[in-house]
Structure 1
Amino acid sequence: MKIGLFTSGYQRGPLEKAFKDARDFGYDGIEIWGGRPHAFAPDLKAGDVRHVVELSKTYGLPIIGYTPELNAYPYNMMLGSERMRRESLDMIKLSMDMAKEMNAGFTLISAGHAGVGVHPEQYWRRLIKNLEELAGYAEDIEMDLVLEPLTPYESNVICTCNDVLRVIQDINSSRLVSMLDVCPPFVQGEPIMLYFEKLGDKLKHVHLIDSDGQSDAHYVPGEGKMPLKQVIHQIENSQYDGYCTIELVSMYMSDPTLYSALAIERVKEMLEN
């Protein structure tokens, strides 16, 4: 299993610290969080992308993918006026351009909350319109666009494996793919390995965390209620050969070094036992 480190939890310090820790703790790659102060797409475009590429070379770690912030702060392609929608799509396209310059394996996006009271047919039309344009751009620049399902605490648009399948059927693009974050299926009572069965070669990435089973909280492996060791072994025994990023986010920003070390230690223990 190839294990990645997600840089979101390091946002209170320099990005280089995430690269150093990833190397020192034995991570196999880096998933870049696309927010300030580290790797906000306009800042990358202004020249910061060279720094990220240099860090990747210096520490000998590939950039697995680029994950810009796109859920309502301030960008959400599913909510707001036409101007807001247009700005969100332009930001995602810029993010894809920057991912290309960083030699990232993909750009990862999600469909944020579409708002309460909006009819499902209305927000689905908006989703498909957005993704048709974005998938076309991804094809033009030869960049995989990974659509991540979220928990129902975060979104009312793409939350289940069947939601992803519907999108893939509605948009025929070789560059539009998806991934598994183990939290959404766990909190919804959905079999986690169903993603591998249903998505097949359209499943391009995995986020590993633990979960309490009743929120969108992302816990260090071993701290939640998920049978994570069994999940890890099932993934290991499947045909999946991509990266599994341990997605520690805001809960562990107080000391990301400590928890990044603990997280990979726990995952490796689970793999060995």
Structure 2
Amino acid sequence: MPYLRREQLAGMGIHYMYYSLDYFLQSQAELGFKTIEMWCGLPHFILDDYGYQDTQELKKKVESYGLHIGVFTPECAMYSYLICAHDPLAQKHSMGYYTNGIKAAGEVGAKIMLTNCCGGDWKEDPERTFDRAVQVLRKLAPVAEDNGVTLAVETVRPEESRVVITLPELKRLLDAVDHPNVKAALDVTAMGVAGETMQEWFETLGSDIRHMHFPDGRPYGHLIWGDGLHPLEDYLQLLNDYHYEGYLGQEITDGRYFDDPKEADRKNIAAFEPYFK
């Protein structure tokens, strides 16, 4: 049977957006999580292009619940700050936002900050959008290096972007940026929607996969495990086979879980219990 270290499973607060940060943290601790992927959306953490709230206060609070921030994830799909923003003013503000995100990540001790290539005018030539993503990531990479952070870039669904929605595109992006602090994140939902397999990802990117968003799906939907069709045991076996030691962020975004996120997490972590080492 495949195994998983409990510390690798990273609870995420996006489906707690209508609840306080304290309620999210208390729920994670009570349910047996040890690590969180810190979703930086309101009301949990204030981050914008002008600044961010006290990171030492955040770190102290998280640790008071016996938890650790493994990954820092600025909101990078729903809000105004997007890597591929095409408007010059939006580009300026986005650069400030992600720069601040990297600095905050370093201050709380997170070694990984997740992002993607959302944004861009969908009537624009996709090559221009892609080139802009390369240029932005090249500018952010030295900031990440200075703060001890690796940017993990995920693919997304075609409803979210016109670029970097497949494994070959992500490989091309990483080769173009060519920086040790810009690596890959595997989102199993985007992977499934693209008709790709986890084995293909590992064969293509190997140890450059530094983080995963690891929810269940059909393949659409970021669901709790058991509500989708993904083969959990098979996936975990592949993680063992390819010696993946990174985090598995539980990015649960389906609205059905927003009313009682703690109960959703209770069911979700129960699916992993047989595999914890």
TM-score, scaled relative to structure 2: 0.90
Q: How far does residue 33 in structure 1 lie from its aligned partner after superposition?
A: 0.6
* Post-superposition CA distance 1:67-109 (Å, at most 9, x none): 1112252112313311111111110000111111111121111
In structure 1, the partner of 2:266 is 261
Q: Relative to 1, partners in 2 of residues 1:103 and 1:34: Cα closer, same or farther, differing over 3 Å?
A: same
State whether structure 2 residue 234 is matched by structure 1 residue 230: yes
Matches of 1:72 and 1:247, distance apart in 2 = 14
Pairs aligned (count): 269
2:251 maps to 1:247: yes
Offset from partner CA, 1:8-49 (integer Å, 9 cap, x none): 111211112222222221213011111111112249945442
Alpha-carbon contact 2:40-2:47 (below 8 Å) kept: yes
Does the CA contact (< 8 Å) of 2:49 and 2:98 recur in 1? Answer: no
Question: Is 1:20 aligned to residue 56 of structure 2?
Answer: no
Contact 1:72 1:112 in 2 (8 A): no
Rounded to whole Å, the distance in 2 between the matches of 1:123 and 1:23 is: 41
Please give the secondary structure, in 2, of the residue aligned with 1:116: coil
Q: 1:197 aligns with which of 197, 203, 208?
A: 203
Q: 1:254 to 1:48 in 2, by over 3 A?
A: farther
Q: Are 1:70 and 2:76 matched, yes or no?
A: yes
Pair 224,55 (structure 1): closer, same or farther in 2 beyond 3 Å: same
Is the CA contact (8 Å cut-off) linking 1:210 and 1:225 kept in structure 2?
A: yes
- In structure 2, distance between residues paired with 1:253 and 1:180: 24
Q: How far apart in 2 are the matches of 1:44 and 1:83?
A: 14
Aligned partner letter, 2:38: I
Instruction: Output the CA distance in 1 between the equivalents of 2:230 and 2:113.
Output: 28
Between 125-134 and 219-228, report the one with greater CA deviation.
219-228
Change over 3 Å in CA distance of 1:132–1:52 after alignment to 2: same
Contact 2:95 2:136 (8 Å CA) reproduced = yes
Deviation at 1:50, TM superposition (A): 3.0
Instruction: Identify unmatched segments of 5+ residues in structure 1.
Output: none
Pair 1:195–1:40, CA change in 2 (3 A): farther
Q: Aligned-pair RMSD on alpha carbons?
A: 1.9
Partner of 1:4: 10
Write the letter of the residue equivalent to 1:259.
A
Alignment of structure 1 residues 1-273 onto 2, 5 Å: 1=4, 2-42=8-48, 45=51, 47-71=53-77, 73-213=79-219, 215=220, 217-251=221-255, 252-269=257-274, 271=275
Alpha-carbon deviations, 1:193-237, whole Å to 9, x = none?
A: 222221122111111111122x3x211111112223321222233
Aligned partners of 1:4 and 1:27 also within 8 Å: yes
Mapped to 2, the partners of 1:199 and 1:77 lie a distance apart of 22
- Sequence identity (%): 25
